[in-house]
Structure 1
Amino acid sequence: MAWCGLDSVLLYWDDVLLMVGPSEDSVSYIYDEPVIFIPECDGVRILSNTSMEFVQRVPDSTVSIFKIGSTSPASLLFDALDHFDRRSAKADENLRLIRASLPEAVEACIDAAGHEFDVSRQRMLLRAASYGQAFCSWLWQQFST
């Protein structure tokens, strides 16, 4: 048994690894060989005779952006950048939908990028944050005058 970050627990018995999160949801993995847990501050490193893996709970910011069907402001900002890159008017529509919560959407994209291991996905998230930040400045100027 080992803590996985601040709010998840890993349990291992009979070749089954079970991760239990704060909402009592669980995920199980099957291992064909014995494993050793090495707890770290943000997850657990799992060592076996043939492999090394790192397991962590998916951060809330990442879930809010990439969960299927998500309509969170951060997800809509990420989607707006995709539409902007494709020169679609839907980009403007998405930005109008999240206008009031644009700063929070930018922060969520930055937070998700900080937890991401894939460099190309980090870049996409940071581009979305930068794209949203450009409109935050515009909004700030509109409200301050």
Structure 2
Amino acid sequence: VWLSTEIDGIRIISGRTLDFFQRLPDEVFNVFDLLSSTPGAKLYSAYMDYKYENQMSEMLLNQLKSSRSTNGLEEAVKECISAASNEHDPSIQKILLKAALFGRAFLCVNLNNPKNSIRPTVSLINDLCTNVIRDLRLINNLQHINISMPITYKQFELIGSRILIDRLLRRNLHEFATSVTKLLRMPPEEGENRILVQWAVQELVNPSNTNEEAIADTIKTRLSGIPGIPFIDIIEEAFKLKKYTVVRRLLDVKISLSAQIDILLKLNDKEEALQKALSCGDTDLALFVLMRIKASEPLSDYMLRLQRLKSLPLKLHLQ
């Protein structure tokens, strides 16, 4: 048996089971304690009475919501939402969230005088409900046997969505990670595009993929139509892995000319790098390429290369 301390409890790992031990959170205790008089406990009782058609529900709601203020009911809704986020059983989470939604429905209604109801600003409550329901759905799915990444709501808040995506990618769960980015509405550069780049890198490092041309074609077919993909990251990774065929076949995708030239110089394709620099008409870029070439070859070869230049403005500039 192994014990692993977490921010909000202890994870107990054995050969067959994984358990999580923690002190009962105050948010949950305050709602379910029989003697509790907190707003959250009253709202939960009101919802259960309403569910079983008990008239005590209206009395409890009147205690929470007076004709002058809605703070009591708002606090009750927040406490039920907080209790749901600290609960691990999905069935109890649903009950607490239903109680919160039940209370939210009465935030705009004056029970003592419905005709004079005033609609307060409840956008914060709506956003809180939506975000917690979304996050709990994600956390519950992470516990599925195919994912096997159980975390608590507090741990999810601490690590954030980016680190969660990194953990999923380390397990090669690219499809599930993509679903997570869509659920959380992450920006493409932090979510889906980053996942696709990681998928391409996995294609490069996969030992079963030996045909470099096929690898390059697969990556281009899958990613070329998606805007914002940083192909230069894939090319640099392929260069590190010495898959030069992949590098050359990916150079014609949407990357900057300066990045293409830099890669060509690393591949020692000096002529092609120089021709690209000259064809764009950027004298500074062409001079940069020439200086790189000059530093990498004998002076006699460099001078001979200058004699073969066909760009007259550049030759005049060099003089």
Distance (Å, rounded) in 2 between the aligned partners of 1:135 and 1:105 = 12
Query: Cα deviation per residue 1:99-137 (whole Å; 9 max; x = unaligned)?
Result: 241111101100111111111111110000001111112
Q: Hey, which bits of structure 1, 4+ residues long, moved more than 2 A?
A: 47-52, 141-144
Q: In the alignment, which of 83, 90, 93 is matched to residue 59 of structure 2?
A: 93
Distance (Å, rounded) in 2 between the aligned partners of 1:92 and 1:105 = 15
Bigger fraction of residues in strand = 1
Distance (Å, rounded) in 1 between the aligned partners of 2:72 and 2:30 = 14
Identify which range, 40-49 or 100-109, moves more after superposition.
40-49
Q: Which residue matches 1:58?
A: 24
Q: In the alignment, which of 123, 128, 136 is matched to residue 99 of structure 2?
A: 128
Q: Which residue matches 2:49?
A: 83
C-alpha deviation, 1:67, in angstroms: 1.2
Instruction: Count the aligned residue pairs.
Output: 109
Q: Is the Cα contact below 8 Å between 2:27 and 2:86 reproduced in 1?
A: no
Q: Which residue matches 1:117?
A: 88
Q: Is the Cα contact below 8 Å between 2:47 and 2:99 reproduced in 1?
A: yes
Q: Which runs of 5+ in 2 are unaligned?
A: 66-70, 111-116, 121-319
Highest relative contact order (Cα 8 Å, sep 6+), 1 or 2?
1
Q: Which residue matches 1:142?
A: 118
Bigger fraction of residues in helix = 2
Distance (Å, rounded) in 2 between the aligned partners of 1:133 and 1:41 = 31
Q: Which of these two proteins has the greater Rg computed from alpha carbons?
A: 2
Relative to the length of structure 1, the TM-score reads 0.67
2:77 is the alignment partner of 1:102: no
Identify which range, 52-61 or 102-111, moves more after superposition.
52-61
Q: Which residue matches 1:71?
A: 37
Q: Percent identical across equivalent pairs?
A: 34
Q: Which runs of 5+ in 1 are unaligned?
A: 1-34
C-alpha deviation, 1:86, in angstroms: 1.4
Task: Find the residue that maps to 1:136 and give its secondary structure.
Answer: coil
Query: Cα deviation per residue 1:2-54 (whole Å; 9 max; x = unaligned)?
Result: xxxxxxxxxxxxxxxxxxxxxxxxxxxxxxxxx43211232210234564320
Distance (Å, rounded) in 2 between the aligned partners of 1:85 and 1:52 = 35
Q: Which residue matches 1:46?
A: 12
Query: Cα deviation per residue 1:71-90 (whole Å; 9 max; x = unaligned)?
Result: 21111100101111111210
Distance (Å, rounded) in 2 between the aligned partners of 1:105 and 1:59 = 17
The root-mean-square deviation of aligned C-alpha atoms, in Å, is 1.9
C-alpha deviation, 1:143, in angstroms: 7.2
Relative to the length of structure 2, the TM-score reads 0.32
**Residue pairs, 1:1-40, within 5 angstroms:** 35-40=1-6
Q: Is the Cα contact below 8 Å between 2:81 and 2:96 reproduced in 1?
A: yes
| Paired residue type of 1:113 | A
